[in-house]
Amino acid sequence: MKRLDQVGVRVRARVLDRVWGRVWDRVWGRAAARVRVRVRDRVWARVWDRVWDRVWGRAAARVRVRVQARGTK
């Protein structure tokens, strides 16, 4: 049997990145030019810091790193 090539990369490109573009455009891309920096810093980046950053890197991501470090016994 063969392993599917780069499943994580493909899922990020085909599922997660697609949504990223849509959200980015709606939150930031449609903001008026004069307030774009403010929207980026106080809306987009705020949600990024307050949600993504606090969930990412917690338990699950750490377990992944551990598995990699240990390898197959």
Q: Give the footprint of another protein on this chain (CB under 8 A).
A: 1-4, 7-8, 10-12, 14-16, 19, 22-23, 26-27, 30-32, 35, 38-39, 42-43, 46-48, 50-64, 66-68, 70-73
In the complex, least distance from residue 73 CB atom to another protein, rounded to whole angstroms: 6
In the complex, least distance from residue 10 CB atom to another protein, rounded to whole angstroms: 6
Total Cβ atoms within 10 A of residue 30 = 9
In the complex, least distance from residue 21 CB atom to another protein, rounded to whole angstroms: 11
